[in-house]
């Protein structure tokens, strides 16, 4: 049952990455490339009916974590307390920026909330990448000092950064050069994803420019992916051991590179939604490849005193896990039904939605 709930968690979080990922990407595009009011409205119209529903998947992921893997939930939400609070505030500012902008029509008022929306989207993309970097790198479980565990084996707490800014320091921070690098990868990938969504859902005058931006950013993304695969050896001595032991897992990196290389043809796609499909493949492949590389670990330990947290030593009792399957099935059907209806109602181009106008 632990593996079943792990797959459920990965599917839910992967869905969140894809769906709220295009929201974040659209916000970054809005910040850097939307110069006219018409362009800004096209971007907010493209995500307006979807962004708040997309965040349901984040809440669902937290719920599954709390129910199925309570020890991991407790350790993560205490150890990552500071960045989680920062993410919460960024989500709030991003939502407020979208909702309050159209309440009062004045250039200064609109400019403030435009910046709030764009900067919050940028920082959220960065922080979620940093979060993934922390999971890959691991943490000092038990707060081991001089070979002695000073706390419970699953407990840790990290400052925002340490003085050395190194992922190999004994006193780790949330942000170091490795986690920050993965944050940059996340920003670039979600900018591409958000740009593809805007092209897919609008007939904006910005679309031809976005295709050129995506094409150029894809070279940057390819370079970042190659570098990230190289530096992974610094963090983990055998980063690809799971793939070597289980060759079937190579399907996930294959999906990643299909999406990545497919995006180089973005300027010649005849259908506007094709680019979004390829960026979705990249995000899904990248996320699943990362999780597969550390499986069954869900939070590695950077010391030799306390064991890493795995899906087996952080899971709920077997009876609870089995009973929850029935309730999950009902909830999952309801959520999928809602999303199918929502995306069917708002199918096609969104230029005339008029989101946020009062």
Residue 188, in any domain of the structure: yes
Residue 17, in any domain of the structure: yes
**Tally of CA atoms within 13 A in the half-sphere of 39 that contains its CB:** 18
Residue 353, in any domain of the structure: no
Q: Tell how strand 309-310 and strand 297-299 pair up.
A: antiparallel
Tens digit of each residue's pLDDT (9 = 90 or more) over 271-285:
988 999 999 999 999
Residue 49, in any domain of the structure: yes
CB 44 within 8 A of CB 216: no
If one counts every other C-beta atom within 10 angstroms of the C-beta of residue 226, the result is 10
DSSP 264: G
307-341 b/e (C-beta count within 10 Å ≥ 16 → b): ebbbbebbbbeeeebeebeeebeeeeeebeeebee
165: alpha, beta or left, given left = phi > 0 and alpha = psi -120 to 50? Answer: left
CB 126 within 8 A of CB 185: no
CB 71 within 8 A of CB 299: no
Rg over CA atoms, the chain: 21
Q: What residues of the chain score a pLDDT lower than 50?
A: none
Residue 357, in any domain of the structure: no
Tens digit of each residue's pLDDT (9 = 90 or more) over 101-129:
777 777 888 788 889 899 999 999 999 99
What domain range is 49 assigned to? 2-144+151-345
Residue 263, in any domain of the structure: yes
- The total domain count for the chain is 1
Q: What is 153-188 written as a DSSP string?
A: TT-----SB-SS--TT-SS--SB-HHHHHHHHHHHH
If one counts every other C-beta atom within 10 angstroms of the C-beta of residue 107, the result is 8
Tens digit of each residue's pLDDT (9 = 90 or more) over 178-233:
999 999 999 999 999 999 999 999 988 889 999 999 999 999 999 999 999 888 88
Residue 124, in any domain of the structure: yes
* 134 CA to centre of own chain: 13
Residue 115, in any domain of the structure: yes
* 129 CA to centre of own chain: 6
Tens digit of each residue's pLDDT (9 = 90 or more) over 171-187:
888 999 999 999 999 99
């Amino acid at each position: 049952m632990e593996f079943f709930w792990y797959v459920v968690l990965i599917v839910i979080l992967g869905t969140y990455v894809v769906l709220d990922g295009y929201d974040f990407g659209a916000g970054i595009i809005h910040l850097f490339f939307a110069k006219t009011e018409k362009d800004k409205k096209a971007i907010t119209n493209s995500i307006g009916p979807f962004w708040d529903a997309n965040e349901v998947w984040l809440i669902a992921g937290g719920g599954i974590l709390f129910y199925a893997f309570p020890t991991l939930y407790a350790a993560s939400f205490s150890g990552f307390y500071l960045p989680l609070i920062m993410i919460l505030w960024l989500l709030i500012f991003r939502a407020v920026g979208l909702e309050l902008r159209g309440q009062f029509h004045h250039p200064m008022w609109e400019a403030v909330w435009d910046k709030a929306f764009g900067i919050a989207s940028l920082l959220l993309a960065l922080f979620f990448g940093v979060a993934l970097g922390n999971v890959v790198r691991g943490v000092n479980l038990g707060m081991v000092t001089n070979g002695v565990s000073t706390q419970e084996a699953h407990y840790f707490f990290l400052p925002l950064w340490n003085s050395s800014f190194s992922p190999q320091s004994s006193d780790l921070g949330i942000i170091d050069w490795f986690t920050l690098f993965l944050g940059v990868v996340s920003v670039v990938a979600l900018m591409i994803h958000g740009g593809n969504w805007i092209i897919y859902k609008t007939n904006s005058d910005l679309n031809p420019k976005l295709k050129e931006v995506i094409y150029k950013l894809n070279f940057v993304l390819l370079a970042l992916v190659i570098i990230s695969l190289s530096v992974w050896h610094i963090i983990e001595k055998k980063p690809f051991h799971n793939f070597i032991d289980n060759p079937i897992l190579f399907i996930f990196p294959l999906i990643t590179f299909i999406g990545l290389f497919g995006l180089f043809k973005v300027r010649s796609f005849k259908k506007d939604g094709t680019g979004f499909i390829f960026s979705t493949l990249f995000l899904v492949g990248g996320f699943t490849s990362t999780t597969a590389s550390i499986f069954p670990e869900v939070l590695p330990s950077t010391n030799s005193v306390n064991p890493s947290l795995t899906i087996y030593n952080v899971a709920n009792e077997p009876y609870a896990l089995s009973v929850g399957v029935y309730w999950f099935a009902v909830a999952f059907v309801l959520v999928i039904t809602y999303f199918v209806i929502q995306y069917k109602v708002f199918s096609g181009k969104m230029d005339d939605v008029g989101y946020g106008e009062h």
